[in-house]
Structure 1
């Protein structure tokens, strides 16, 4: 944790007015260190969100920031003339020398955003309306960025959703059995091996490349305090080239199952069809007509692929001895894997219904 004096000095390096008043940790994210910093300027208050970027995960922070600047500038231009644009797009705060980010004396990368008032995030879905609004915001996000001019965005995490490579890494983890855990999880390994074709289900489909968010959880959309509307997509670190189905699949993975990601009771893990209905309707509403017919058809496959991908990532890490994902107990990664596989089974069981709904909404 950075000390307060250093934090104040870093905050003052950005274009903010007034006298420093307070700084406190903000949000529930696990990647970056995030603070809400408040300044007093005469009779008004100004707040910024200040973040220390995690360069262990995002090894090229300059590329990440270039992506964010291009995406937010384009979104703002597409929404020009509409009401409340300042609350609908993240706005980077420049440093006092005009840069988009700050590097401190210890080579730590920092960025700042204008604080968006009267809106908040939620970590779990409490109603179909919430799921609809978040999915609609992500659909609109993709639609507004469909005409982002060249050049192609940087890949902030190369091969992030290359499921074939993820499956190969899983197979290597099984072969290595570094932690001596394979024998106890033969059922989970067999489950994954039986679905190997999922690894190429999207990559081999000839789908158009889009600008995608790649982390479409509920808590990456700000919902308006008064109306509940999804007003702003946040956490743009993983915005990069991808497939529309990636974002939709991750919405299904994170918004349609009420159970925790590391749930120990498999009977509690299932896809809630009402929540799926809300996510599908919301995403299609926000996306409008820009999706091609093959892209729409690919959405259900996207749900299966992304859940499968996350499951094999958890299982591979468990077999390797929990070297990537943080764990607070010995079997946590295995429970995470089992939750994803149980959710995938639930999706498979309801796939016909899902396709019927998709065709009805086409």
Structure 2
């Protein structure tokens, strides 16, 4: 679908509309993304409109990326880090009519996937996220801004659930009785995390915080990993944010929108592939506490997502877009089933982890 953009945005980057083809691309739900193709130079760019409902201070994103780009240029100059293209006035973003826009270079001969279809894709994606974290191991994470404060704070998410439960209409509580009970029963996941939280060998690291498969570029021909993209949420966090979300999104063949819970199963081979890929980069720097929490990272992130869907349902669905009234409740059921599967397969999954830590 070809679209037009405000001339001021394009001119800020020295581009003339008459030489451009503009198409909306991507499946992301947060930022609007466009592919800009220039017939004058044959170059291509990615232009994004930053969602200020989610990222209330876009300048924090720009500050983080500038610091990380400078560090990687110095310490790992060969790494492909996708940093914003500067405007003609040397700015990292365009601010127009209360909207923020930024341009990124387009990486040719690559693809970002919406769905994992092979173990190799899982391996390569996990390796790329691990590689970025390893390369930033020497970077002081506290120098970065939290672009979404408390994004993966399970204590906060549980408190939000408890408040929603207290205030929810009885008509919403009744169909969610089983899920409410599960949410309370699994609170031990939060308590377990809290018992580790202040250990000295459980550091804050530079984490991506959104490790779905579409946030990695793969080579079009052979699916080998090229680099990580969509770096808006890169900020300080625990390693389990990235690894846990990969376990959550890579190991099941079906998304959280699947309502047939019999389909929600762990693909052991995909789990093994992502663990191999991640540890091929991260094994040398993970602490003993982090190694102990590898499988737990999946439980942590799945439980958190189940809580968030259930909370949104009890609140009347203000956050996650829905196609029918009980969709967020169904999504919560889906994630609780995935959590059950992690426990059901725990021994086999832990054996895979142990083998790859040797």
Q: Same fold (TM over 0.5)?
A: yes
- Structure 1 portions without partners, runs of 5+: none
For 1:94, the equivalent position in structure 2 comes to 86
SS state of the match for residue 327, structure 1? coil
Equivalent-residue separation in structure 1 for 2:229 and 2:5 (angstroms): 28
User: Structure 1 residues 116 and 150 mapped into 2: Cα distance closer, same or farther (>3 Å)?
Assistant: same
CA shift, 1:175, in A, is 1.0
User: Is 1:157 the counterpart of 2:148 in the alignment?
Assistant: yes
CA shift, 1:9, in A, is 3.0
CA shift, 1:74, in A, is 2.6
Equivalent-residue separation in structure 2 for 1:165 and 1:190 (angstroms): 19
* Count of residues in Structure 1 that have an aligned counterpart in Structure 2: 353
**Pairwise mapping of residues 1-362 of structure 1 onto structure 2 (< 5 A)?**
4-6=4-6, 8-14=7-13, 20-41=19-40, 44-80=41-77, 82=78, 85=79, 88-104=80-96, 106-149=97-140, 152-178=143-169, 180-205=171-196, 206=199, 207-362=202-357
Q: Deviations over 1:114-133 (max 9, x none)?
A: 11110011111101111000
Equivalent-residue separation in structure 2 for 1:66 and 1:15 (angstroms): 23
In 1, are the aligned partners of 2:141 and 2:205 still within 8 Å (CA)? no
- Structure 2 portions without partners, runs of 5+: none
SS state of the match for residue 111, structure 1? strand
RMSD over aligned CA atoms reads: 1.9
SS state of the match for residue 341, structure 2? helix
TM-score (ref. length: structure 1): 0.93
SS state of the match for residue 102, structure 2? strand
Q: Deviations over 1:40-96 (max 9, x none)?
A: 33xx4111111111001111111122112222333343332x4xx4xx220310011
In 1, are the aligned partners of 2:249 and 2:255 still within 8 Å (CA)? no
User: Structure 1 residues 150 and 309 mapped into 2: Cα distance closer, same or farther (>3 Å)?
Assistant: closer
TM-score (ref. length: structure 2): 0.94
